[in-house]
Amino acid sequence: MALALATPPASAQQPDSTPKDSTTLAPVVVTGTRLPSVHEVVRGLTGRTATLNASDLDERGVRSLADALEELPGVTTSDELGAPAQLDVTLRGFQVSPTIGLPQGVTVYVDGVRMNEPDANEVNFDLLPLEDVERVEVVYGPSVLLGRNSLGAAVNLVTRRGSAPGAREVEVSGGSYGRYEVKLQAGDRRGNWDYYIGARYEHETGWRQATTSSIGTLFGKLGLIAGGWNATLSYSGAENKIHQAGSLPDNVVDARPDSNFTAGDYFAPTSHLITVNAQRRVGGAQLAFNLFGRSLNTDQFNVNASPPDSRQRNHERLGGGAVQLTGSLALAGRPLRWFGGVDGTYSRTVVGLYAVPPSGADSLTDSVRANEVDWGVFAGASWELTPSFAATVVGRYDYIRLPYEDLLDPTQNGLNLYHRVSPRVGVSWTGLRNQEVYASWSRGFRPAALVEIACSDPTAACPLPFALGPDPALRPVVATTYELGWQLRRTATGLSASADVYRTDVRDDIFFVAPTATTGYFQNVAATRRAGVETAIRWASRGGGGQLYANYGYTAATFETTAVLSTGRPPGNETVTPGDRLPMVPAHRFNAGASLPLFKDVLRLRVDGRYIGPQYLRGDEANVEARLPDYALADASLEANVDRYSVRVMVPNVLDRRYVTFGTFAANPTVAGAPVQRFLTPAQPRHLLVSISADF
C-alpha cells in the first residue's frame, strides 16, 4: 500500500463474457488518497483529477462504481457478462473490470485498501460500498504513490463518517423488471465518538431471461478523536448472487435481445473487510497509518455448450498496512514539503476449477495456491521555487514475491519475483489569476497476476474459465506517461474548466487472446500506446441551485509493434501492425447534462446525455471487421422534496434507444457447422425506477 496526499478541505468464458474536476488552485493538487485522513499541500505532482460527491451519485441514482465513473472524460462502459452490476470500465484506454482475462490497468481502493483481487487484478464492483461513500476520487495516469497497477488511473472510495447533528434515512424503491431495493443509513457524533452504519438489499428478475440477481451489503464505521489521535474502525461486507446472460449472435440481438444463450451462469461472492485508519501529530510532522484484513470467497458457475459445465471457486485472505510520515521545512527560504512511508500486503489465494457433469458430484480438475507478499517504500518532496512555481519529485520501490503452488501436482510449483522503481516528476505554474498550468512525467508498472502466469503457454491454450499450470514467465507491464494540462476555477461565478493532453507508452502489455470460444492464454505485446485529449467545463449557481456540465474525451489506443495474436475468427490468428486500434476503446466520447431546480426547489429536473463513438470488436485487433456502431442516449429524473420526504422518478435510456455495448467473435453451436459469428451484448431498453426516502 502507499499513501497519497490531498489538499486541505475547502467472465472470461466466451461468448459470455456530476463530475467535479479538482481544479482547486494554490494550493493545487489532489494526488489521490490512500490514507484519506492525512492532508498535505503538494504542488506540481498531479495531472487531471476528478471528484464525485455523494450528492452527485445519489442524484444520478448510480448502481455501481462503473455507473459513477461513466460521466467522467475518457470513461466508457461495456457489458460483456450481461449483468448491470458487473460492467467493464475503460479509462484512457485502460480497463478495470470484474471479468478475468482483461488487461487490468486501473486500481480501486476503499479508504486506502486495494480492492483489485490477487488472482487476476479484477475488481468486483458489486462488493464496493458505493452507497456509503462521502466521495469518489479519481487520479488519472500512473499513480506512483498508490503503487502497482495504476497505469491509467487510481480510484479511491472515501467512506462516510458520522457527524453532528445526527441523521437517519430510509429509502425504498421499485421499478421495471422486478427490481426493488431497500436502504438504511444512520450516523451521529457523541462527544469524542462518532458512528455511521449503512445497509442495502437489492433484488431484480432482470430484463433478460434467467438473470435474477440479489445484492446485499453492510457497512459500519466507528470514529474517535481523543488524546491527539483521529482514528476510525470500519467494516464492509457483501453477500451476492448475480446471474449472467453474456452476449448473443447478432441476428438474435435484432430479433430477441432479451435471450440468454447460457442460462444458469452466475457469480456468487461473500466478502468481509475490516480497516483501521489513524493519524496524529508527532513533533512537527504528521504520522498516519492503516491496517486491514480482508476475506473473499467466490463461486463462478459457467454453463457450457456441451457437458460438462465448469465452476471456479476462489478463497482469498489478505492482510496488510501502511505507514507514512509528512512534514515541511524551509530550503533557501522557500517551503519544501516532504513525505515518506512503507506499506505491505500478504495475500493467500486458492483457486479450484471443477468439471460439473449433468449428474453426480463436481470433479476437481485444477487447484493452485499463491502466498503472495508485496511491499513498497516511497518518498517525495515538493519545493515551491517561487510563489507561483513548484516542482515535485516522487519515487517508489515495489517488491512482489508470487509463488505458484500446484496442489494436485507439486512438481509443477514455481516462483515469480518482480521488483521495480517507479518515478514521477511534475511542475506547476499559477502565475495567471484563477488558473494553473501543469506538466508531469511518470512511470508505473504492473506484474503478471496468478491466473496470467498460470495460463501463458500458446502451445497449450487453457480451457475456460482456466486450466492452470506453470507456463512461461510473463514480463511486467511498464507504462510511461507524459501529460500537459490547464485548469481554471472561478469560485465567485461557479465556473470551472480544464483541458489535458497525455500520451502513455506501454511496454510488454499483457493481453488475453482466445484462439477458440472456449480456450485462451495470456501473452506480452512489445509496445502499445494510449494518447488523447480531455476537456471539461462546469457551472454551478450559488447555493447549490442549477448545475450544467459538458466534457469530451478523445482516446487513441493503438498497437505500436507488429505481433501475431490468436483470434476466434478464421483462420485462428491475425497480425496487428503499428497504428491498429485496441478493441473496445472508442476514439470519441462526449457527455453533457443539467440539474435544474423548479418551483422554489420543491422539484429538481435532471437530464444527462452521452455519445459513444464506434468501437472495434474484441477479437478484431487487426481492425479488418465492421465496428460496433456509435450510439447516443439520455437519462432523465424528476425529484420532489417536501419537508423530510423525497420522491424520485428515474427513467434511464428515456428515448428507448436500441444499441450494443460489447462485441466479440465466437462459434455458434446452435447453427449447423458451428460457424464463427459476431456475438454482441444488447443494452437495457428504457426502464423506470421510483424511490421514496425519509429523513428522521
The CATH number for 434's domain is 2.40.170.20
Average pLDDT over residues 414-437: 93
Go through the chain and tell me how many residues it has: 696
CA separation (Å) from 366 to 303, 331, 355, 408, 452? 18, 59, 10, 7, 15
pLDDT digits (tens, 9 = 90+) for 588-626: 999 999 999 998 779 999 999 999 999 999 999 999 999
Report the percent of the chain where pLDDT is more than 90.
75
Phi, psi of 65 (to 5 degrees): -60, -35
Sheet (strand 75-78) strand order: 75-78, 88-91, 94-96
What is the C-alpha separation between 424 and 30, in angstroms, rounded?
15
As a whole number of angstroms, the distance between CA 313 and CA 290 comes to: 30
Kindly state the cell numbers that stand for 404. Answer: 505458484
Distance, CA of 74 to CA of 65 (rounded, Å): 15
Does 127 map to a domain? yes
Residue 387 CB contacts under 8 Å (≥ 6 apart), including other chains: none
179 lies in some domain: yes
Query: Is 5 part of a structural domain of the chain?
Result: no
* Mean pLDDT, residues 13-36: 35
User: What's the mean pLDDT in 99-107?
Assistant: 87
Q: How many domains is the chain built from?
A: 1
Q: Give CA separation, 344 vs 105, 154, 445, in Å.
A: 20, 18, 17
Share of the chain residues as helix, strand and coil, in percent rounded to the nearest 5: 5, 60, 35
More confident residue, 475 or 455: 475
Model confidence pLDDT, tens digit, residues 456-503 = 766 665 654 444 444 457 899 999 999 999 999 998 899 999 999 999
Measured between alpha carbons, how far is 142 from 153 in angstroms, rounded to an integer?
6
* pTM (2 d.p.): 0.91
Residue with cell 465496428: 627
- pLDDT higher than 50, residue 28: no
pLDDT in tens, 541-561: 987 689 999 999 999 999 999
- Domain extent at residue 689: 20-695
- Asked whether the predicted pLDDT for residue 354 surpasses 50, the reply is yes
Residues 518 and 528 sit within 8 Å (Cβ to Cβ): no
Cα separation values, 660 from 232, 312, 636, 650, 683, Å: 44, 28, 20, 22, 5
Calculate the CA dihedral of residues 331, 334, 335, 338 and round it to 10 degrees.
Answer: -40
Listed residue (124, 102, 116) closest to 150, CA to CA: 116
DSSP state of 58: H
* DSSP-derived secondary structure for 283-306: TTEEEEEEEEEEEEEEEEEE--SS
Widest distance between CA atoms in the chain: 80
Q: What would the mean pLDDT of 328-350 be, rounded to a whole number?
A: 94
Task: Look at residue 567 and tell me if it is in a domain.
Answer: yes
Higher local confidence (pLDDT), 451 or 385:
385
How many whole angstroms separate alpha carbon 481 and alpha carbon 504?
4
Residue 12 lies in a domain: no
Q: Evaluate if residue 418 carries a pLDDT over 50.
A: yes
- For the segment 219-230, what is each residue's pLDDT rounded down to a tens digit? 999 999 999 999
Q: Which of 386, 394, 291, 282 is nearest to 339 (CA)?
A: 394
Q: Is residue 189 part of a domain?
A: yes
pLDDT of 289 reads 94
515 — pLDDT class (breaks 50, 70, 90): low
6 located within any domain: no
d(CA 295, CA 293) in angstroms, rounded, equals 7
Phi-psi label, residue 600: left if phi above 0, alpha if psi -120 to 50, beta otherwise? left
Burial of 448 (0-12, 13-18, 19+ CB in 10 A): buried
- DSSP 8-state symbol, 615: B
**Per-residue pLDDT averaged across 111-131, rounded?**
95
**pLDDT for res 675:** 93
Across residues 377-382, what is the average pLDDT?
A: 91
Does residue 298 carry a pLDDT above 90? Answer: yes
57 phi, psi to nearest 5 deg:
-65, -40
Average pLDDT for residues 636-652, to the nearest whole number? 96
Whole-number Å distance between alpha carbons of 584 and 618: 6
**Cβ count within 10 A of residue 642:** 9
- pLDDT number for residue 45: 55
Say if residues 31 and 139 touch (Cβ distance below 8 Å).
Answer: yes
* d(C-alpha 532, C-alpha 509), whole Å: 18
Indicate the DSSP class of residue 434: T
Confidence of residue 450 (pLDDT cuts 50, 70, 90): confident
Q: Which three cell numbers stand for residue 475?
A: 514480463
User: Residue 43: its pLDDT value, please?
Assistant: 36
14 belongs to a structural domain: no
Whether 240 has a pLDDT exceeding 70, the answer reads: yes
Residues 668-674: what's their mean pLDDT? 90
Whole-angstrom Cα distance, residue 237 to residue 297? 12
Query: What is the spatial distance between Cα 572 and Cα 27, in angstroms, rounded to a whole number?
Result: 55
